Structure 1
Amino acid sequence: MIKVSVLYPNSEDATFDMDYYRATHLPLVAVLVGEALVSAHADLGVASGVPGQAAAYIAMGHLVFESVESFQQAFGPHQGEILADLVNFTNTQPIVQISEIQQ
């Protein structure tokens, strides 16, 4: 299993609409990638490890797939539509990391 983490960097002028992300964007992604998606969830950054310092990421989305190949096959054809929706909830450029889930 792999996790696709979409990290939205925090900055002084960063904006992020978590309500839109949870209610509209993640369901859109789920419909487009279909059964290849095992699970999805979102995190809202609240703080860093240093007291009083802002979180490095304003938000994060995590998508679980069986494999890198299943992610690429499901996401690839819809990449344009998914990326076009970013302007509806953030002004940041996300960073994507694919990780192997270890158990």
Structure 2
Amino acid sequence: TRVDLTQVDLSNASLPFSNLTGMDLSNRNLNSINLMFANLTGANLTGSNLTDANLNQTNLSKANLSGANLTSNNVIGTKFCRTIMPDRSVNNSGC
């Protein structure tokens, strides 16, 4: 069963170790969200504000970050594999 987060304000939320595989989080305010060790494989983060987000050890394989704001992110150990970056380039550094 999937949880519908479309109406939830996730700015400053703490969701470490969450399984958000394939989740549509496009055009959302995710400012200062804690997604440490979360699984966002295949997630749609297009156009989202991820300023100051904690993405340490997060799995962003096959995620779409086109147009997302990744200013001041903490991405130590983050897995990028076939990840579409904000500039629409593909990051395979963690494959």
Q: Do Structure 1 and Structure 2 share a fold, with TM-score over 0.5?
A: no
Larger Rg: 1
Larger helix fraction of residues: 1
More RCO (CA 8 Å, sep 6+)? 1
* TM-score bucket (shorter structure): under 0.3
The two structures have a TM-score, normalised by structure 2, of 0.24
Larger strand fraction of residues: 1
